[in-house]
């Protein structure tokens, strides 16, 4: 079980350019690790664009933004290019990291049950400790909540 105040699980994933990225690459920086269900869908696009629009504010807070979904590297590249996303998107095609962070859950839509990513954001400090967890994220106003958590 992942809790605030605990060490964030380490991981290595490929970004939208096919480069391997690990959580340890960001030691000494705050990390906003946000998990989202799928590239280029309405809620995920709105969330990504919100982080894009607030990107300068996160830079001022010494924070990097990492978006994670089970989509492919090429899907992430198209999504990032289409919306000019200035941050890293990580491809968790094997669903290892979504499972490690406990965000791969049973969901239901129109009465059909399926496995998917529960939109969740983790704020991780420069020492790799989870400062704040935002479960079941509602997109509207979320980036402001995350920025506030970084300030505290």
Residues with a known catalytic role: 44
CA distance 110 to 75: 26
Q: 33: part of which helix (H) or strand (E)?
A: strand 30-35
Residue tagged 């969901």 (tokens): 107
Residues in the chain: 152
- Collapsing DSSP to helix, strand or coil, 89 comes out as strand
């Amino acid at each position: 079980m992942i809790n605030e105040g605990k060490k964030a699980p380490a991981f290595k994933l490929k970004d939208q350019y096919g480069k391997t990225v690990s959580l340890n690459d960001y030691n000494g920086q705050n990390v906003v690790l946000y998990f989202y269900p799928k590239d280029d869908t309405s809620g995920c696009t709105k969330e990504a664009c919100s982080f894009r629009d607030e990107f300068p504010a996160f830079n001022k807070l010494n924070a990097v933004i990492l978006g994670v979904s089970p989509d492919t590297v090429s899907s992430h590249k198209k999504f990032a290019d289409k919306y000019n996303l200035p941050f890293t998107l990580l491809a968790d095609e094997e669903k290892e990291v979504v499972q490690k962070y406990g965000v791969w859950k049973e969901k239901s839509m129109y009465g059909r049950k399926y496995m998917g990513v529960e939109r969740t954001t983790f704020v991780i400090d420069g020492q790799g400790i989870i400062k704040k967890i935002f479960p079941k994220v509602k997109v509207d106003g979320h980036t402001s909540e995350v920025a506030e958590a970084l300030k505290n």
